[in-house]
Structure 1
Amino acid sequence: MSEAEVPARESNWFGHPAGLSILFLTEMWEMFSFFGMRALLVYYMTMHLRIGQEHASLIYGVYAAFVYFTPVFGGIVADRWLGKRNSVVIGGATMALGHFMMASEPLFYPALATIALGNGLFLPSLASQIEGLYRHDDPRAGNAYNIYYIGINLGAFLAPLVCGTLGEAFGWHWGFTAAGLGMLLSLVIYLGGSRYLPPEPVRSEAAIRTRHPVDRAVMQRFGFLITVAAIVVVFRGAYEQVGNTIALWASEGVDRQVTAGWSIPMTWFQSLDSLVVFTATPLLVIRWARLAKRGIETPWLKKMAFGAAVVGASYLILAAVAAWSEVHGTRASWVWLLGWFIMMTLGELYILPIGLGLFGRMAPEGFRATSIATWFFAGFFGNLLAGALGTLWSSLTHGWFFVLIGLVAGLAAALLYILGLRLGHVETREDASAAMVLSR
């Protein structure tokens, strides 16, 4: 039975298969561990290890890049040899080990490498199981990615509040330990709920060639997806500043004082992105569903272009705030940073979850983990770009730096819009149900 033929399983999780609940919770706690460590990383390097800002930003960018690079090979290994379940278990255990290693200063660089390697097996193997929960013509499959994305961001929301607070209040190593415990909990949930997940497809390369020949249509589809991924690289160069230079600005350029005796911890701002995601996503899904019933369906590439444009505009507004603060020799109010996170994240919702769903739905049979890995591969080059751009933080004023980042996001928006005009017909070649999902 192919992944597309696996019957949907009934569940009380908003009417979706029970397996989606397991994948949701597994990914939530994996993201708790990942973003918990990320919320501490730049501060740990600059404040504890005394690494210079430029060097720390570069390390951050390279690490984040390899977190998205290893899934390319992990997806191939999962599709061909290990299978998705074994890949998730081995990858998750490796990531947990890496998080615990972060508690030891001499193991700092090996720990980063261990987390990146484990993530390579875990990330594509988990997300690629979503499609196997639904029949090919099941209309619920489209919203499944939005629900899954909420799980990602719920864990990312909790992580800075827990790991960040422990790190700031009791020591960085306590925060890293909490991240490791989150990864272990993720594995326990996955193993406990594995009976609700789709069965492993045939992984033999010969069988895949026989059942799913790599014809011209498949190559054209992959070529289209790679083009989209290349543009998303540019977008991520701007978006991935959230855990890098935005975190530094929250520490250096923002007045976090709320009352006479209390200031907002700098790591807490890292939760705002995720908070907006899981509060705004249901509203957007409802809105898109109502528009679809009225026959109004915006092409998904235009949605992605709109999202990138909103992110670019948010950086330009932040540039004006930062420039005004610098001219007047003061710090910007934390309210501006709050408003920026809301605007930036609303733009994110029009590009990242839609892109994830696109790569899942357009994946040829037998290559689903590989296709999902291709989407995450954009994060590799995107984080390298973000790290390189971050090295300019100390040489430019904050205002001009944010102008630069806004222009980078704007370039991505323009490229996505042009691609939609030139290659938007690729969407119409999909079957009716896939086209319906992708346009949501």
Structure 2
Amino acid sequence: MNIVIAVGILVTLVTGIPVLLQLLKGHPRGLIICFLAEMWERFSYYGMRAILIFYLTQHFLFDPKAASGHYGSYTALVYLVPLIGGFLADKWLGTRKAVAFGAVLLVAGHLAMAIEGKPAVQTLTYQGATYEFQAEGRGQNREAKLVVDGKAYEVAATKVGDFEIKGLPANAPLPAVLPKADYKLDVAGRDPLYLNIFWFSLSLIILGVGFLKPNISTIVGQLYPQGDPRRDPGFTLYYYGINLGSFWASILCGLLGVNVGWWAGFGLAGVGMLAGFIVFVLGKPWLDGKAEPPEPKVLKEKVAGPINRELAIYGLSLVGLVGIFFLVQFNAIVGVALNIGILASLGYIGFFMFTKCAKEERERLALAVFLIFGAVVFWTLFEQAGSSLSLFAATNVQLDLVREPLRLFSGAVTLATPDQLAKAGIDAASTFWVDTSFNAPQTQALNAGWILIFAPVFAAVWTFLGARGKDPNPVIKFGLALIQVGAGFLLLQWGSTFADGAFKLPLIFLVLMYMLHTTGELCMSPVGLSQMTKLSPASVVSFMMAVWFLAVAIAQWVGGKIAGLAATETVGGQVLDPGAALAASLKVFNIIGLVAVAIGIGFLLLSPVLKKWSHGADNVGAPKKA
């Protein structure tokens, strides 16, 4: 029995049974379909994300800085492309067809990710001779050895940063310690075919998310009549499904990806998406005719010979894969495009504020821009989970849940990892063995797990305060979110004082860091999009929503750059100097943590002034001007 899976089942049962009971009574049947479809879609997305950074650094052998950049480009495009998918659904396709098309692309993309090919090989060149590294293991178990005269030797970095080959005999063709200037590291065997399959798979996933993600949420809203009191509780249940899928994705795909192979982790994500697609297609009758195209006749009109508008949209979208395929490989171009987009958007907002708005509307828009800034800072730090924090967990966190075999009930029950069991000489058949293995990709489940636990608590707290007129205004909530996400990173600095001789922190500090990130998310996430709709004049609401998502995309891109700053040298996907890695990570984490806390305090100090800029937008029934 695996203890991580057992705990996951317990958390799911405790938090999920009340949700299931609510789903089955008092809500439209279509909510069950949306719940399950989005749960599986998020399972596929977060399952792939759990192992993506390790696949880049340990299979293709990108250095961590380049890998973090590619990761940032991918996640930025994931948040940007839904603007197009949402527009096409509103204008022509309808949300059901858009979701189905996106699901097909996602199934294809995730399953294609399982086509991994042979891993790249790290090489070392010294005085004209080239030697290959032999790499084994995945995630935190990665180990690379240098092959010299047919024998593999462990490698490490010396205190001054030189390259050390351990146990190398004196008569070997190269010295046991190589100064940095005397050797060159390179990568061989990075097969262009499989690398391009990888980029194409990511492109399919990006486009698929673009069509599915914004529109399935819209379907949930369409299931309820205007003013239906069940609407908000329905969305709460729906968001539980999102986090349930995310929770199990990291646990199961991380387990298979590390212990079986990358193909197994990615393949399971694809199977999950296929399950979501089947549920959505079979559940069409339960949508009760909702989510259909706004004008079916227009969609069937011929636009080019026998090709109607619907097929043309699908075809042109597939052509768009070429552009995504290009962009996801070039982080700098994505950054330029995003920066041009946000600067142009801010310029237009400024023009609109001072030429089209009265004082009240102008201050509301200014507050919206201020909140967008806070969101960029928050998500930049929060999204380190899939890049720098995963690499940090693999290198500098004690992931074993027990340090040595724990025998209970006179040896009848044993808690240990497989390696600990073998080293202790304990026969697994002689005891009830509880496998305590916990790997680096699985740490990404901590955020979703905390949400499953805390989301009902926060919902109850906000409701309780709101009923008494004491619900904090959005500026305060944003400030609290920023302080908590920053404090999470600063907590790791304290944890470093408890690091062992291998420069690994106790796991509890990573668990608590994710708890702070989660409570911060629960302060910010429910209010962000809502504020864009409340603060924006009716004529620019859609534009401001687009700017919000553009800002989140920029946060992903910037997050990739920050993760690159925390990176350290690897050989064959293995970090050579864990001490240097810890120092590099903590330096970056301290800076971004302090910046976030300072900005969060600034939000709190400014909240008495800024809340006046809303001019009652948070009041029920507040008028919205054109």
User: What is the TM-score when the length of structure 1 is the normalising length?
Assistant: 0.84
Matches within 5 A, 1:170-185: 170-185=260-275
1:313 and 2:492 are equivalent in the alignment: no
> Which AA in structure 2 matches 1:397?
A
Deviations 1:305-358 (A, max 9, x none): 2122111111111122236538x6631111221122122211111112332444
Which SS does the other structure have where 1:257 is aligned? coil
Moved more, 420-429 or 261-270: 420-429
> Which AA in structure 2 matches 1:422?
L
Shift of 1:13: 4.6
1:291 and 2:465 are equivalent in the alignment: yes
Instruction: Say whether the 8 Å CA contact 1:241–1:386 is kept in structure 2.
Output: yes
- Higher-helix-fraction structure: 1
Instruction: Say whether the 8 Å CA contact 2:94–2:291 is kept in structure 1.
Output: no
Instruction: Say whether the 8 Å CA contact 2:39–2:245 is kept in structure 1.
Output: yes
How far apart, in 2, do the equivalents of 1:168 and 1:368 lie?
45
How far apart, in 2, do the equivalents of 1:421 and 1:28 lie?
40
2:593 match: 406
How far apart, in 1, do the equivalents of 2:483 and 2:65 lie?
28
Moved more, 77-86 or 410-419: 410-419
Shift of 1:411: 5.4
1:392 match: 565
Shift of 1:47: 1.4
How far apart, in 2, do the equivalents of 1:133 and 1:415 lie?
41
> Which AA in structure 1 matches 2:475?
L
1:238 and 2:381 are equivalent in the alignment: yes
How far apart, in 2, do the equivalents of 1:96 and 1:216 lie?
46
How far apart, in 2, do the equivalents of 1:377 and 1:407 lie?
25
Pick the structure with greater CA Rg.
2
How far apart, in 1, do the equivalents of 2:202 and 2:602 lie?
33
Shift of 1:296: 2.3
1:4 match: none
- Segments of structure 1 that go 5 or more residues without pairing to the other structure are 1-10, 205-213, 436-440
2:446 match: 272
Deviations 1:79-110 (A, max 9, x none): 21222111111111111111111122311111
> Which AA in structure 1 matches 2:592?
I
Instruction: Say whether the 8 Å CA contact 1:58–1:391 is kept in structure 2.
Output: yes
Which SS does the other structure have where 1:242 is aligned? helix
Which SS does the other structure have where 1:428 is aligned? coil
CA distance change for structure 1 residues 236 and 429 in 2, over 3 Å: closer, same or farther? Answer: closer
How far apart, in 2, do the equivalents of 1:371 and 1:201 lie?
24
- Higher-strand-fraction structure: 2
1:104 match: 115
1:119 pairs, out of 209, 230, 240, with 209
Shift of 1:372: 5.7
> Which AA in structure 1 matches 2:493?
A
Matches within 5 A, 1:14-413: 15-105=26-116, 106=194, 107-197=197-287, 198-200=290-292, 202=294, 225=368, 228-259=371-402, 260=404, 261-262=416-417, 263-322=437-496, 325=499, 330-359=503-532, 374-394=547-567, 397-410=584-597, 413=600
1:6 match: none
1:426 and 2:614 are equivalent in the alignment: yes
Which SS does the other structure have where 2:462 is aligned? helix
CA distance change for structure 1 residues 343 and 73 in 2, over 3 Å: closer, same or farther? Answer: same
CA distance change for structure 1 residues 35 and 362 in 2, over 3 Å: closer, same or farther? Answer: farther
How far apart, in 2, do the equivalents of 1:268 and 1:216 lie?
49
Deviations 1:192-215 (A, max 9, x none): 3334443447479xxxxxxxxx99
Deviations 1:124-146 (A, max 9, x none): 11122333333443444344443
How far apart, in 1, do the equivalents of 2:620 and 2:78 lie?
35
User: What is the TM-score when the length of structure 2 is the normalising length?
Assistant: 0.60
How far apart, in 2, do the equivalents of 1:13 and 1:416 lie?
41
* Alignment length (residue pairs): 415
How far apart, in 2, do the equivalents of 1:239 and 1:180 lie?
26
> Which AA in structure 2 matches 1:187?
F
CA distance change for structure 1 residues 431 and 246 in 2, over 3 Å: closer, same or farther? Answer: same
Deviations 1:15-42 (A, max 9, x none): 4443333322221111000000000101
Deviations 1:228-282 (A, max 9, x none): 3343122111000011111011100011123334142222211111011011111
Identity %: 32
CA distance change for structure 1 residues 113 and 368 in 2, over 3 Å: closer, same or farther? Answer: farther
CA distance change for structure 1 residues 371 and 19 in 2, over 3 Å: closer, same or farther? Answer: farther
Q: Which has the higher contact order (CA 8 A, sep 6+)?
A: 1
1:210 match: none
Shift of 1:399: 1.9
> Which AA in structure 2 matches 1:343?
L
Which SS does the other structure have where 1:432 is aligned? coil
How far apart, in 2, do the equivalents of 1:432 and 1:136 lie?
15
> Which AA in structure 2 matches 1:377?
L
Instruction: Say whether the 8 Å CA contact 2:41–2:272 is kept in structure 1.
Output: yes
Aligned Cα RMSD in Å? 3.2
> Which AA in structure 2 matches 1:331?
K
Which SS does the other structure have where 2:81 is aligned? helix
How far apart, in 1, do the equivalents of 2:522 and 2:549 lie?
16
Shift of 1:429: 3.6
Shift of 1:405: 2.3
Moved more, 16-25 or 379-388: 16-25
How far apart, in 2, do the equivalents of 1:322 and 1:171 lie?
31
Which SS does the other structure have where 1:351 is aligned? helix
How far apart, in 1, do the equivalents of 2:102 and 2:534 lie?
24
Moved more, 71-80 or 315-324: 315-324
CA distance change for structure 1 residues 128 and 92 in 2, over 3 Å: closer, same or farther? Answer: same
CA distance change for structure 1 residues 331 and 63 in 2, over 3 Å: closer, same or farther? Answer: same
How far apart, in 2, do the equivalents of 1:146 and 1:403 lie?
34
> Which AA in structure 1 matches 2:558?
L
How far apart, in 2, do the equivalents of 1:75 and 1:427 lie?
30
Moved more, 253-262 or 413-422: 413-422
CA distance change for structure 1 residues 387 and 14 in 2, over 3 Å: closer, same or farther? Answer: farther
How far apart, in 2, do the equivalents of 1:423 and 1:399 lie?
35
